[in-house]
Structure 1
Amino acid sequence: MNVLVIGATGFIGSSVAAALVGAGHEVSTLQRPDGRATGYRPVPGDLTDPASLGQAATGFDRVVHAGPPLGEELDLAGVDALVAAAGDRLVHTTGAAVLGSGSKDEDSAPDPHPVVAWRAELERRVRTAGGRVVRPGMAYGDGGGSVPALLAAKAAERGTGVYIGEPGVRWPVVHVADLAALYVAVVEHAEPGTVWHGMSETVRLDDVARALGGGTATSWPLEEATAEMGPIAGLYTLDQDISSDRTRRLLNWTPKHTSITAYLNSQVGHA
């Protein structure tokens, strides 16, 4: 297929673009006039200019949005432009936080954390148009991932692993290579109007912190974290156990990396 990837300079998007090429697809990437080249055929456009997204998305077999969230106004205007141009050819990324806390699966209704409240409406608009939604867990691997990087920086600063709030908070996680393979499967096989979960395991964030801290970890009180990070700190206290069983079964998706703590321990040991 001829696929446009939005967000191809980012951690997830770059892996998705490479995986699509590896699967035999022709990839073009959205590129701002002053943006960094990706090595793929550039298509002019800018996430902060929704009209440009609609122009860029015209004429592709699939349009994969793996770019970062920019806030309610821009994200909803952007998805409206993409839906108008691509309709059921759109594959859009949201995230696990759209489901809220507790045990959830692909059939669970969105109950988003307030920090990402608009993503439920974004998903609705994509699916109503026949598009596909991918909800990744926390992505890690290949030396990237914003959450592991933040926690690693805090571990280096304090000399011990750091997690926010109370111990025992669980998050769904996924290695970026496995996530990229899921996007390929969604592009190739997913039915219109569907939602898919990119989670390889559920892990305690304090265990992630211990792996980054060489075996020890301490709490960073939510109030202090919020003062430094803003409201997004509340996401780190969102306890989730999210299933990807249906995704694995229907798309024959089998993650190869199933232990983030083993991965982090190997990285810390290597460093």
Structure 2
Amino acid sequence: MKVLVLGATGYAGFHIAQALRRDGHTVLGLTRDATSARARELVAEEIRPVEGQMSDPDSYRAALEQADAVVTAALDMADPLGSDRKLFRALREAQERTGRSRHLVFTTGITFLASTGEVWDERTPADPGSPLYIRAQAEEELAASGMPYTIVRPSFIYGADARSSKTSQWFLAARDGNPVFYGNTAKRYTWVHVDDLAAGYTEILDRPEAADGETFMFGDEHRPTLLSVQEACLRAAGCDKEITFADAESGGMLETCADRDELVDSAKARKLLGWAPRHPGVLEDTLTYYAAWDRSQRQA
């Protein structure tokens, strides 16, 4: 299968593209700059860089025409819903021109879900008051489009280069000597190693008919407090500074939205896809995760 990955030079997208290539697919990776160091890493991983912008389907239309499936692993922060709609339109137009549909694996998240006091699964409703509710709107529009699709809602990602992981923020804070914890110290998150997450995408595209029209949550069974994860990251980085505590609002919109338990149940992915996390958890091997992050920082 030929797969176009939008966001292939990002954190999750790079590892998803790697996993798809190792699964035997031909992988095209959208990147803003095909000459960048990250794009050159794609080439080394046998992934073909495609220079373009998520906001401009014309820039990646030729790759879309070639593809059998498309994976989104990035968000256009300038116009997220607008860019999603452009992608949906481009897929419909490609289908009309070629008579061939392309399976879209569409990545959203979990922080737009409503606080229910329970562990979340695929049936948990979205919160219309969330600033991230546009992700739910995009899911609804995709479901109504008639195109083949699968929605993926990852939990909090960790591992490898950790580029946009919260663990990277804490490793950087350890280096700077200014660790801050925002919000409720008792809140707990579900986590997933980036390679385990990437394996979920290969499972979906190995059986697209079974995954068509489905939504999947990917996360492991460990549910540590966020504070304990931050403390472990600081220790791994050799930081002995005291953590400063601040309210969630002072950390910005994302800290405010996620100032609560965000726990997911991945039973559906286990049952329908045979997916299971293979890594020991974000607290179990923090020294290794720090070393991987530190090396990637030095290489950059």
User: What's the TM-score, normalizing by structure 1?
Assistant: 0.86
The offset of 1:2, in angstroms, is 1.1
Cα deviation 1:39-93 (Å, max 9, x = unaligned): 1223343112144455542232111111234244433333433442465511111
The offset of 1:117, in angstroms, is 1.5
**Paired residues for 1:45-124 under 5 Å:** 45-70=52-77, 71-84=79-92, 85=94, 89-102=103-116, 103-111=119-127, 114-124=130-140
* C-alpha distance in 1 between matches for 2:81 and 2:289: 39
Q: 2:277 aligns with which of 241, 246, 255?
A: 255
Is this contact kept in 2: 1:222–1:234, CA < 8 A? yes
Q: Does 1:151 align with 2:165?
A: no
The offset of 1:33, in angstroms, is 5.7
Change (3 A) 1:245 1:258: farther
Change (3 A) 1:236 1:110: closer
* C-alpha distance in 1 between matches for 2:3 and 2:291: 39
Is this contact kept in 2: 1:139–1:145, CA < 8 A? no
* C-alpha distance in 2 between matches for 1:193 and 1:43: 28
| Counterpart residue number, 1:235 | 257
Q: 1:162 aligns with which of 166, 180, 186?
A: 180
* C-alpha distance in 1 between matches for 2:184 and 2:176: 20
- Alignment RMSD (CA, Å): 2.6
| Counterpart residue number, 1:245 | 267
* C-alpha distance in 1 between matches for 2:192 and 2:245: 24
* C-alpha distance in 1 between matches for 2:249 and 2:268: 37
Structure 2: gaps spanning 5 or more residues:
96-100, 295-300
The offset of 1:240, in angstroms, is 1.4
Change (3 A) 1:118 1:83: farther
Q: Does 1:200 align with 2:208?
A: no
Change (3 A) 1:33 1:218: closer
1:249 aligns to what SS in structure 2?
A: helix
Identity %: 30
Is this contact kept in 2: 1:6–1:13, CA < 8 A? yes
Give the letter for the 1:122 counterpart.
A
Structure 1: gaps spanning 5 or more residues:
none
* C-alpha distance in 2 between matches for 1:149 and 1:269: 11
2:50 aligns to what SS in structure 1?
A: strand
Q: How many residues align?
A: 266
Is this contact kept in 2: 1:104–1:241, CA < 8 A? yes
Change (3 A) 1:113 1:18: farther
50-59 or 64-73, larger mean C-alpha shift: 50-59
193-202 or 206-215, larger mean C-alpha shift: 206-215
Give the letter for the 1:239 counterpart.
D
Change (3 A) 1:130 1:114: same
Cα deviation 1:82-120 (Å, max 9, x = unaligned): 442465511111112132334211222323672312000
The offset of 1:158, in angstroms, is 4.0
Is this contact kept in 2: 1:44–1:56, CA < 8 A? no
User: What's the TM-score, normalizing by structure 2?
Assistant: 0.78
Change (3 A) 1:52 1:126: farther
The offset of 1:222, in angstroms, is 2.1
Change (3 A) 1:196 1:269: closer
* C-alpha distance in 1 between matches for 2:33 and 2:171: 33
